[in-house]
Chains A and B, each alone.
Chain A
Amino acid sequence: MEFFLQLLVNGLSLGFLYALSALGFVMIFKSSSVLNFAHGELMAIGAFIFLALSAWAGLPILLAFVFTMIGSFTLGFILEKFFLRPLIGEALIQVIMLTLGLALMFRGLLLFIFGGDIHDYPDFLPEALTIQWGAINIPSVYVAAFIIGILFLILFGLFFKYSSQGIYMRSVADNQPAALSLGVHVRRVFALSWAIAGLVCAISGIVLGIINGINVHELSSIGLKVFPVVILGGLDSIGGAILGGIIIGLLESFTGGYISTSLREIIPYIVLIFILMVKPYGLFGLVEIERV
C-alpha cells in the first residue's frame, strides 16, 4: 500500500509536469495549427538558462527563476516573430521542417555551449518540503513538482477562462476570420502563444532537470513525450492535454514500479500507437458542434 501511494504521488507530480509542458504545445497548435517539434529543446533551453543563472552566475534562486521565465517568454516571442511568421499561410510540411530545423539547431547550440554531460542544480529545495508519512517518503523534488504543476495549471486555466486576452486567444483558435473581423490582433495572439509555450516549457524543463539532472539529450527526449500526451488527450484540447499528461505520468510511474523500469520509458509510445488505432482524435479531441 505504501509503495502504491508512493508511485501514485510520483506519477501525479510527473504527470502535472507533462501536462504543463503539453499545455504549451496544444496552445500553439490550437491558435496557429503549427506542430512544434522543438518542444523538448525549448524545455532544455529553459533548464540550461536556469542552470547558467543559478549555478554559474550565482544569482539567488528566486531571481534566477524569474529571469529564466522572462528569458524563455521572450525567446518564444522571438521565435514566432522571426521564424514562424514568414511561414504563415505556407503548407504544413514547411512549418514542420522549420520546427525540426529549429530543434536540431538548438540541440547543437546547447551541446556546443554546455557539452553532453549531466549537470546538476545546486541543492536549493528546503528539506521541509519532504513528506514523511510512516513508510511513505516523498522527496522534496516531487512535492515541488506537484505544487508548481498545479499552481501554473490553475493560473493558466483562470487566464484562459476569465481574462480578455485569454478569451481573444480562444476566439482565434475557434474562428480566425471572425476574430479578424472584430479586430483581434491575430499575429499578436500567435506570438503570445509561442511566448507562453516557451514559458511553460522552461518551467517543466527546470523541474524535470531537478529530478533527472540536466542533459540536452535527456530533456529533448522527454520533450518527445508531449506527443503521446497530446494525442491521448486530443491535439486541440487544453483539458485533454492536462488529463493526458496526468495519465501518462501515472502510467510511467506504475509501469516502472510494478512491471519493469525498462518498460517505463516506452509505455507512453505504446499508448500513443494504441490510441491512434482506436481513437485517433484522442479522449477530448474536438467534437464538432454541428447545427443542422
Chain B
Amino acid sequence: MEGNVRLLINNISVVYSDVIQVLKGVSLTIREGQIVSLLGSNGAGKTTTLKAISGLLKPENGRVTEGSIEYDGKAVQNSSPEEITRKGIIQVLEGRQEFKYLTVEENLRVGTATRWGKPYQKDLDLVYHYFPALLARKRAMAGYCSGGELQMLVIGRALMAHPMLLLLDEPSLGLAPLLVKEIFQIIKRINEEQAATLMVVEQNANMALQIAHYGYVMENGKIVMENSAQELRENPDVKEFYLGTAASGTLKSYKDVKAYKRRKRWL
C-alpha cells in the first residue's frame, strides 16, 4: 500500500541546550494509513525523534537545528506543541503519563483540548468501545488504576483528539506479555478502522514488527536500517539484535554474543 506522504522528516539534527547533539541527520517518511515502527536500543534517539515531530522538544530546551519536518507538505519543525497538536499530530508519552488526580473520564476529556467546545460524547463512546475496561473504571481516580488500564487510558485519551498521526512511545513498557498483545491488537484495529496513521516506538521489536507496515532501526542518533516490516523481520541482523533469535534459532553461546556486539557497531 502506497498512500500519500503524511510526514516527511528530512535529515534533521536535534540539539539539547545548544550543546548536546542527539539526532545526527535522521530522515524518514510516513505514508498515510501506515503503521511505522521505530526500533532501537536505549539512548538511540527514538523518543527525541518523536518529540521533534510533536513539538515537545521545546519545553525541554531542545531544538531542530538542521533539516526539516514536513507534515502534509508544510514545514512544522520547531513549532509549539499547541500548533502541532491542532494539526492532528498527537504523541502518547512514554511511561503512561496519566493525570493522577483526575478520574478516568476526566482524563479522556482532556483529550478534547484541541477542539475545545465541540461535542465529545461520541468520542467517549468510541474509546469505551475499544477499551471496555475503561468504562467500568470511568469514575475511578486515574492514580489508582493498574498499569494496563493506564496504557489504555493514555491511548484512549489521544484518540479523543481525533489524531491524523498518532505517535506512540513504548506502549508495551512494563506490561504483561498477554496485555502487550491485546494493546497491539487494539493499535492495529485503530489503524484499520479509524484510518489513522501511526508511528510506534518500541523496544519490543517482535510485537512492533508484527503489526507495522514499515520499520526503521536507529542507533546513536542515526537511522541505520529501513525496510518493510516483512523484510526487517527476516533480516538476519534484526533477528539477532532485536528479535533475540539466532539464525539457527538456538541459544547463543557467549562467544556469539561477543561477535554480535562487534557486528552491531557496523550495522
Q: Contact between B56 and A181 (Cβ–Cβ < 8 Å)?
A: yes
Would B54 and A170 count as touching, CB distance under 8 A?
no
Alpha-carbon distance A165/B111, docked complex (angstroms): 12
**A177/B143 in contact, CB under 8 A:** no
Contact indicator A181/B81 (Cβ below 8 Å): yes
Give min CB distance, A170 to chain B, whole Å.
6
Residue A134 interfacial (CB < 8 Å): no
Chain B 126-156 against A: per-residue CB contact (8 Å), 1 yes, 0 no? 0000000000000001011001000000100
Inter-subunit contact A180/B90 (CB<8 Å): no
Q: Which residues of A contact B111 (CB under 8 A)?
A: 182
A183 touching B90, Cβ below 8 Å: yes
The verdict on B116 contacting chain A, using a C-beta distance below 8 Å, is: yes
Q: Which residues of B contact A170 (CB under 8 A)?
A: 99, 101-102, 106
Kindly provide the distance from the CB of B116 to the nearest chain A CB, expressed in whole angstroms.
6
A174, chain B: closest CB distance, angstroms: 4
A177 in contact with B56 (CB, 8 Å): yes
Nearest chain A CB to B102 CB, angstrom units: 6
> Considering the chains assembled together, what is the distance between the CA atoms of A240 and B57 in angstroms?
35
A184 to B112 CA separation, bound complex (whole angstroms) = 9
- A185 contacts which chain B residues (CB < 8 A)? 82, 113
Q: Determine if A155 is an interface residue (Cβ-Cβ < 8 Å).
A: no
Beta-carbon nearest neighbor of B101 in chain A: A174
Q: Which of A164, A167, A184 interacts with B117 by CB under 8 Å?
A: A164
Q: Which residues on B sit within 8 Å (CB–CB) of A171?
A: 99, 102, 106-107, 110, 113
How far is it, in angstroms, between the C-alpha of A174 and the C-alpha of B102 when the chains are bound?
8
Q: Answer yes or no: B92 CB below 8 A from chain A CBs.
A: yes
- Range for the number of chain B residues in contact with chain A: 35 or more
Kindly provide the distance from the CB of A212 to the nearest chain B CB, expressed in whole angstroms. Answer: 37
Residue contact B110 to A180, C-beta cutoff 8 Å? no
Q: Is the CB of A175 within 8 A of B97?
A: yes
**Chain A residues with CB under 8 A of B81:** 180-181, 183
Contacts of B98 in A (CB 8 A): 175, 178
Nearest CB on B from A33, distance (A)? 14
In the complex, what's the smallest C-beta–C-beta distance from B88 to chain A, in angstroms? Answer: 10
The answer, among B90, B113, B158, for a CB contact under 8 Å with A168, is B113
- What is the CB-to-nearest-CB distance from B164 to chain A, in angstroms, rounded to a whole number? 13
In angstroms, how far is the closest chain B Cβ from the Cβ of A139? 40
Contact A180/B99 with A164-B116, A165-B116, A171-B110 known, Cβ cut-off 8 Å: no
B100–A175 CB distance below 8 A: yes
Give the docked Cα–Cα distance between A15 and B54 (Å): 46
**Which residues of B lie under 8 Å from residue A165 when comparing CB positions?**
116
CB distance from B121 to the nearest CB of A (A): 12
Q: Contact between A182 and B110 (Cβ–Cβ < 8 Å)?
A: yes
A179 within 8 A of B: yes
* A182 touching B114, Cβ below 8 Å: yes
Given A174-B99, A177-B97, A289-B100, decide whether A182 and B113 contact each other with a Cβ distance below 8 A: yes
A175 to B91, CA, bound (A): 15
Q: Quick one: which of A164, A170, A182 has the most chain B CB within 10 A?
A: A182
Whether A180 and B59, one on each chain, are in contact in the complex, defined by CB atoms closer than 8 angstroms, is: yes
List B contacts of A175 (CB < 8 A). Answer: 97-100
Query: Please, which residues of chain B bring their CB within 8 A of the CB of A180?
Result: 56, 59, 81
In the assembled complex, the CB of B257 is this many whole angstroms from the nearest CB of chain A, namely 33
Among A180-221, those with CB < 8 Å from B are 180-186
Residues of chain A within 8 A (CB-CB) of B109 are 164, 167
A224 and B99 alpha carbons, distance in the complex (Å): 32
Residues in B42-94 with C-beta less than 8 Å from chain A: 54, 56, 59, 81-82, 85-86, 90-93
Of the candidates A164, A174, A181, the one whose C-beta lies within 8 Å of that of B92 is A181
Question: What 9 pairs across the A-B complex have the smallest Cβ distances?
Answer: A183-B85, A289-B143, A178-B97, A183-B114, A174-B99, A184-B113, A171-B110, A180-B81, A183-B113
| B contact set with A: CB distance below 8 Å | 54, 56, 59, 81-82, 85-86, 90-93, 97-102, 106-107, 109-114, 116-117, 141, 143-144, 147, 154, 157-158, 161
16 residue pairs bridging A and B, Cβ less than 8 Å apart: A164-B117, A167-B106, A168-B110, A171-B113, A174-B99, A174-B101, A175-B99, A177-B56, A177-B93, A178-B97, A180-B59, A181-B54, A182-B110, A182-B161, A183-B161, A185-B82
Q: A175-B99, A175-B100 are in contact. List 19 more A-B contacts (CB 8 A).
A: A164-B117, A165-B116, A168-B110, A170-B106, A171-B102, A171-B106, A174-B100, A175-B97, A177-B59, A179-B113, A180-B81, A182-B90, A182-B111, A182-B113, A182-B114, A183-B81, A183-B90, A289-B100, A289-B141
**Residues of chain A whose beta carbon lies under 8 Å from any beta carbon of chain B:** 164-165, 167-168, 170-171, 174-186, 289, 291
